[in-house]
């Protein structure tokens, strides 16, 4: 696979260097610039959503209401979820896709660069609309990110604002997905057949299909909310012959694939990093691809498990329980393959590897609580409690978010050409891993002991674990400032220059390590040959 | 309150609860309550079974991971075996074994669902309607006609206000007490019919293993039977986000012996008759009897709150 990139100098294009000034970003068509914008946007949203989480945990620090009004508390829980899901996690993965897919498949850029620009620039507008709803009469959405009617429809101006913002986010996601699929299908370097393609690209290819399949479903659901609220329809209004439960079905038909949209690219990232620092190829690479595809398929037939307490025919309860439990099988295959990748390897513990290992352990814990939640008769006790909150935060924070951080630490030297401070990055890792457990583990106990979720105040027997959890939250929130410090230092010159291979001595595989660091503005203008 | 096999869980839980504060239910503070019905006990049993299976898998999987982390270190000269990339045999095994484990969990689970959904032969039915933010209890069968609202108790309501200056610890059963609890007899299969007048709520008593959503336009069912000898007061909360005061609509159930229950029903009827006779001059008092007297009843409770 070795090739030099002298080809890069052989330009027949007039803009070999980035344009100067704001125009470079506003009119960006370069996948690296757009990827950077997505990642920076996602980091900002991570702190916006994080600040909301701090408000929530500060109010829950002790029983009684000290800081915010219950209505505002509900706005915080709702907005925290919307911002983190649609503003932080998803754009981060799209940013990584923009940066890495062309580099990994040996393509000069994404297939549809202008649409790429459009799909990014929609996002700041969508989030300006969503966040500005905090300042309109009646405030921001407060009915939970799931937007269940009739509660959501009791809102004021936010109904239109949130729905319009979600439409925009959905359009952005669909365009991003089309771009990923077209790029992967058409622009792979000669000789790179699909089974030779890196796992990160594979996970994104499947994720992109999921997005295209379910984002229109979400758009349909919220459009029906919109017409119910403003145009007198009764899709979900029982008094008008509508069906409030139908919204839940439609929403979760989107919502369950959505949770895999947030974790499949993470699987891809972990499958890149573990082999590198184990100095050993990924174990069972083909079965990994089949596992991702199986999870993607199963994600369409498990939505009912979000709704067991809403009342469901017996047969449906059993069906959704079985199909949900089945997901544990391909997920188990992935965890076993990752473990087997480390087995008889030669492990070193650079920051990306540390985050990947943390992912491996803590995501698995989230998987266990997921299996427990699938057991319908006991789900009646778990559902709508902090046990669920603990479960999905374990799969989303040390799951998706840690995978994103692992990816940033893995590829940042390639992007900037500089190596970051290992000491600071490792400090960030240890603080994050310790505090994320202090934050979320006690929430299992709270839920089992009977604390419902989405409440601003609680009975006094829940005081102790809530205080522990809040301390963990403040620690985790503060630790993330270190992440920003590491990134800024690295972008400004870092500890030292990074080599083309970056992780010398480890076993980084893939085309991205064959070009210099930082990756030139235009890479692979002549496709590399894959043997 | 209850220190049985659940104490095993504390070993896994690490540092455990240091204050045994007045418990709202039979939970020990970090695990599911065993509860006081056959269903809640079965749910607890299944929960612990699945929990220990997960612990078992965790020991094996985390054990292999930790062993790799300790044994195969680059810094200690470990050399990677790069030929180990694939093994059909192993991969088939670790696909089949989880399927078997899942079936082991699914069979008793399906069995328990059948029990939970068996609504036959109930001795008392109660229609429970959710409102923002209170519950209405309308009795049927032997207690037909008893109908009242249940709202957060006044002392909790004062203490829960922003910067009230009242220490929640000084309020008995803070946020988990109501002005008028649901009263049910022990030893009788009670069927709860759930619906809502506005948004989606969920009625939940952890000790009964009973939780189901109250949805406008739908009637959901659950049942529970509290064993004789387990009479007492059991507390829960609304479990579905229902707006601003979602955290302030507790569910309190007072379980009495069948005789005491019969007596309570008589008292309710007598009290209602008494309330109607002096006010019989205007033609209005037909209202309390009507099941759909929601607005009138709402005004009544609002008035009570203002007192």
E-assigned strand segments in A305-401:
none
Mutate one of A158, A285, A380 to test the B interface: name it (highest B CB count within 10 A): A380
**Residue B200, Cα to own-chain centre: how many angstroms?**
16
Partner residue facing A345 (CB), from B80, B166, B173: B80
Burial of B107 (0-12, 13-18, 19+ CB in 10 A): exposed
* Spatial distance between the Cα atoms of A1 and A480, rounded to a whole number of angstroms: 38
**Are residues B297 and B154 both part of a single domain?**
yes
| B11 domain-assigned | no
How close is the nearest chain A Cα to the Cα of B77, in Å?
8
* Number of compact structural domains in chain B: 2
Q: What are the Cα distances from residue B301, in Å, to A400, B131, B305, B306?
A: 48, 12, 6, 9
Structure letter (DSSP) for residue B171: S
| B232 domain-assigned | yes
How close is the nearest chain B Cα to the Cα of A295, in Å?
14
Q: Which of A247, A225, A191, A204 is nearest to A96 (CA)?
A: A204
| B228 domain-assigned | yes
How close is the nearest chain A Cα to the Cα of B145, in Å?
26
- Among the candidates B95, B116, B137, a domain finishes at B116
* Spatial distance between the Cα atoms of B91 and A489, rounded to a whole number of angstroms: 44
- Give the tokens for residue A522: 């235009």
* Spatial distance between the Cα atoms of A443 and A469, rounded to a whole number of angstroms: 7
Q: Which of residues 147-206 of A touch B (CB under 8 A)?
A: 148, 150-151, 154
| A296 domain-assigned | yes
Q: Where in the sequence is the domain holding A459, given as residue range(s)?
A: 27-514
pLDDT single digits (tens) B42-55: 999 999 999 999 99
pLDDT along chain A (531 residues), means of 10: 45 64 92 97 98 97 94 96 97 97 96 96 97 94 94 93 97 97 96 93 97 97 96 94 95 96 97 96 94 96 95 94 95 96 95 97 96 95 96 96 98 96 97 97 96 95 96 97 97 90 90 93 91 76
- Would you call A16 an interface residue with chain B, using a CB distance cutoff of 8 Å? no
Chain B residues touching residue A242 (CB < 8 angstroms): 217
Chain B residues touching residue A464 (CB < 8 angstroms): 17-19, 29
CA-based nearest residue in chain A for residue B174: A459
CB B39 within 8 A of CB B115: yes
pLDDT for res B290? 41
pLDDT single digits (tens) B138-192: 999 889 999 999 999 999 999 999 989 999 999 999 999 999 999 999 999 999 9
Contact B61 A336 (CB under 8 A): yes
| B31 domain-assigned | yes
Bond prior to A518 in cis (omega within 30° of 0): yes
* Spatial distance between the Cα atoms of B147 and B291, rounded to a whole number of angstroms: 8
Which residues does residue B125 pair with via DSSP β-bridges, in sequence order? B191
Q: Which of A415, A489, A403 is nearest to A89 (CA)?
A: A403
Q: Which of B293, B304, B214, B306 is nearest to B251 (CA)?
A: B214
**Are residues B232 and B268 both part of a single domain?**
yes
Contact B58 A322 (CB under 8 A): no
Q: Which of residues 424-483 of A touch B (CB under 8 A)?
A: 444-445, 448-450, 452-461, 463-465
Residue B21 has pLDDT above 90, yes or no: no
**Are residues B230 and B88 both part of a single domain?**
no
How close is the nearest chain B Cα to the Cα of A349, in Å?
9
pLDDT for res A193? 92
Q: Which of B251, B231, B300 is nearest to B272 (CA)?
A: B300
The residues of A assigned a catalytic role are 80, 109, 145, 172-173, 256, 258, 260, 271, 305-306, 331, 334, 453
Contact B80 A448 (CB under 8 A): no
Bond prior to A150 in cis (omega within 30° of 0): yes
| A22 domain-assigned | no
**Are residues B221 and B128 both part of a single domain?**
yes
Q: Where in the sequence is the domain holding B156, given as residue range(s)?
A: 124-306
| A264 domain-assigned | yes
**A-to-B residue pairs, Cβ atoms closer than 8 angstroms:** 304
Chain A residues touching residue B109 (CB < 8 angstroms): 321, 375-378
| A521 domain-assigned | no
pLDDT band at B22 (very low <50, low <70, confident <90, very high): very low
**Are residues B295 and B148 both part of a single domain?**
yes
Contact B200 A154 (CB under 8 A): no
* Spatial distance between the Cα atoms of B176 and B207, rounded to a whole number of angstroms: 14
| B271 domain-assigned | yes
pLDDT single digits (tens) B90-103: 999 999 999 999 99
| B235 domain-assigned | yes
- Would you call A9 an interface residue with chain B, using a CB distance cutoff of 8 Å? no
**Are residues B170 and B253 both part of a single domain?**
yes
Residue B283 has pLDDT above 70, yes or no: no
Q: Which of B92, B86, B96 is nearest to A284 (CA)?
A: B86
**Are residues B198 and B271 both part of a single domain?**
yes
| A399 domain-assigned | yes
Residue A523 in 3-state DSSP?
A: coil
Containing B220, the helix (H) or strand (E) segment is: strand B220-224
ipTM of the complex: 0.91
Contacts of A198 (CB under 8 A, 6+ apart): A104, A105, A268, A272, A509, A510
**Are residues B278 and B195 both part of a single domain?**
yes
| A8 domain-assigned | no
Partner residue facing B82 (CB), from A280, A444, A452: A280
CA-based nearest residue in chain A for residue B237: A452
Burial of A192 (0-12, 13-18, 19+ CB in 10 A): buried
* Spatial distance between the Cα atoms of A434 and A475, rounded to a whole number of angstroms: 9
| B7 domain-assigned | no
Contacts of A51 (CB under 8 A, 6+ apart): none
Contact A244 B217 (CB under 8 A): yes
Chain B residues touching residue A329 (CB < 8 angstroms): 95, 98-99, 102
pLDDT for res B298? 41
Model pTM?
0.91
Contact B102 A348 (CB under 8 A): no
Contact A311 B218 (CB under 8 A): yes
pLDDT for res B9? 40
DSSP codes, A249-270: HHHHHHHHHHHHHTTHHHHHHH
Contact B173 A345 (CB under 8 A): no
Q: The CATH number of the domain where A106 resides is what? A: 1.20.210.10
Q: The CATH number of the domain where B266 resides is what? A: 2.60.40.420
**Are residues B134 and B231 both part of a single domain?**
yes
**Are residues B138 and B281 both part of a single domain?**
yes
* Spatial distance between the Cα atoms of B202 and B135, rounded to a whole number of angstroms: 10
**Are residues B88 and B225 both part of a single domain?**
no
* Number of compact structural domains in chain A: 1
**Are residues B291 and B210 both part of a single domain?**
yes
Q: The CATH number of the domain where B90 resides is what? A: 1.10.287.90
Q: Which of A463, A387, A460 is nearest to B177 (CA)?
A: A460
């Amino acid at each position: 696979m070795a090739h030099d990139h002298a080809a890069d100098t052989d330009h027949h294009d007039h803009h070999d260097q980035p344009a100067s000034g704001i125009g470079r970003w506003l009119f960006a068509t370069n996948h690296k610039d757009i990827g950077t914008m997505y990642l920076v946007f996602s980091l900002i949203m991570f702190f916006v959503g994080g600040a909301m989480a701090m408000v929530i945990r500060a109010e829950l620090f002790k029983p009684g209401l000290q800081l915010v009004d219950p209505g505002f508390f509900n706005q915080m829980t709702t907005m925290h979820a919307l911002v983190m899901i649609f503003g932080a996690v998803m754009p981060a993965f799209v940013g990584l896709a923009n940066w890495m897919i062309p580099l990994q498949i040996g393509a000069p850029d994404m297939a549809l660069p202008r649409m790429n620009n459009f799909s990014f620039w929609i996002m700041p507008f969508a989030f300006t609309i969503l966040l500005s709803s905090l300042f309109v009469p009646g405030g921001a959405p407060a009915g939970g990110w799931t937007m269940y009617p009739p509660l959501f429809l009791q809102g004021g101006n936010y109904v239109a604002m949130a729905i319009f913002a979600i439409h925009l986010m959905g359009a952005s996601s669909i365009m991003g997905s089309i771009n990923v699929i077209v790029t992967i299908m058409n622009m792979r370097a000669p000789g790179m057949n699909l089974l030779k393609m890196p796992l990160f690209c594979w996970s994104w290819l499947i994720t992109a299909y999921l997005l295209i399949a379910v984002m229109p479903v979400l758009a349909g659901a919220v459009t029906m909310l919109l017409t119910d609220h403003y145009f007198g329809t009764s899709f979900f209004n029982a008094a008008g012959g509508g069906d409030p439960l139908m919204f839940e079905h439609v929403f979760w038909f989107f919502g369950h694939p959505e949770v895999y949209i947030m974790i499949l690219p993470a699987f891809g990232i972990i499958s890149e990093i573990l082999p590198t620092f184990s100095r050993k190829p990924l174990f069972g690479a083909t079965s990994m691809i089949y596992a991702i595809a199986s999870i993607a398929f199963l994600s369409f037939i498990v939505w009912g498990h979000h709704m067991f307490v809403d009342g469901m025919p017996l047969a449906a309860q059993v069906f959704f329980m079985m199909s949900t439990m089945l997901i544990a099988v391909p997920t188990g295959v992935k965890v076993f393959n990752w473990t087997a990748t480390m087995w008889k390897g030669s492990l070193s513990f650079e920051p990306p590897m540390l985050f990947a290992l943390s992912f491996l352990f803590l995501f698995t814990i989230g998987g266990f609580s997921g299996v427990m939640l699938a057991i319908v008769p006991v789900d009646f006790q778990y559902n709508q409690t902090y046990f669920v909150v603990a479960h999905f935060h374990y799969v989303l924070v040390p799951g998706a978010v840690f995978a994103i951080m692992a990816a940033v630490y893995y590829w940042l030297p390639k992007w900037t050409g500089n190596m970051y401070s290992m000491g600071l990055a490792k400090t960030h890792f240890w603080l994050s891993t310790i505090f994320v457990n202090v934050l979320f583990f006690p929430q299992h106990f709270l839920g089992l002991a009977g604390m419902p979720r989405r409440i601003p105040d609680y009975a006094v027997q829940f005081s102790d674990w809530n205080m522990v959890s809040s301390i963990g939250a403040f620690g985790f929130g503060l630790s993330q400032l270190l992440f920003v410090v590491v990134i800024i230092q690295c972008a400004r010159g870092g500890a030292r220059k990074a080599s083309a291979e970056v992780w010398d001595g480890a076993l980084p595989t893939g085309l991205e390590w064959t070009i210099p660091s930082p990756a030139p503005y235009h890479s692979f203008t002549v496709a590399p040959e894959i043997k | 309150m209850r220190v049985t096999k659940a104490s095993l869980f504390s070993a896994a839980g690490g540092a455990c609860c240091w204050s045994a504060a007045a418990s709202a239910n039979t939970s020990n503070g970090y695990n599911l309550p065993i509860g006081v019905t056959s269903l809640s006990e079965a749910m607890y049993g299944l929960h612990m079974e699945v929990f220990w299976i997960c612990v078992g898998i965790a020991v094996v999987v985390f054990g292999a991971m930790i062993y790799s982390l300790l044994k195969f270190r680059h810094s200690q000269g470990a050399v990677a075996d790069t030929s180990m990339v694939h093994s059909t045999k192993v991969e088939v095994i670790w696909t089949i074994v989880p399927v078997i484990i899942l079936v082991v969990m699914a069979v008793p689970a399906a069995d328990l669902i059948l029990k939970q959904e068996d609504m036959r032969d109930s001795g008392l039915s109660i229609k429970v309607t959710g409102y923002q933010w209170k519950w209405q209890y309308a009795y049927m069968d032997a207690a037909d006609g008893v109908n009242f609202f249940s709202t957060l108790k006044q002392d909790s309501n004062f203490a829960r206000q922003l910067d009230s200056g009242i220490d929640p610890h000084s309020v008995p059963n803070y946020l988990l007490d109501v002005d008028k609890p649901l009263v049910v007899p022990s030893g009788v299969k009670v069927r709860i019919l759930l619906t809502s007048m506005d948004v989606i709520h969920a009625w939940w008593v952890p000790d009964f293993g009973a939780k189901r959503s109250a949805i406008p336009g739908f009637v959901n069912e659950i049942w529970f039977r509290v064993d004789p000898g387990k009479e007492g007061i059991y507390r829960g909360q609304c479990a579905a986000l229902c707006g601003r005061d979602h955290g302030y609509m507790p569910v309190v159930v007072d379980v009495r012996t069948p005789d005491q229950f019969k007596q309570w029903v008589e008292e309710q009827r007598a009290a209602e008759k008494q309330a109607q006779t002096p006010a019989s001059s205007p033609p209005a008092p037909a209202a309390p009897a009507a099941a759909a007297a929601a607005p009138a009843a709402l005004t009544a409770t609002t008035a009570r709150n203002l007192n």
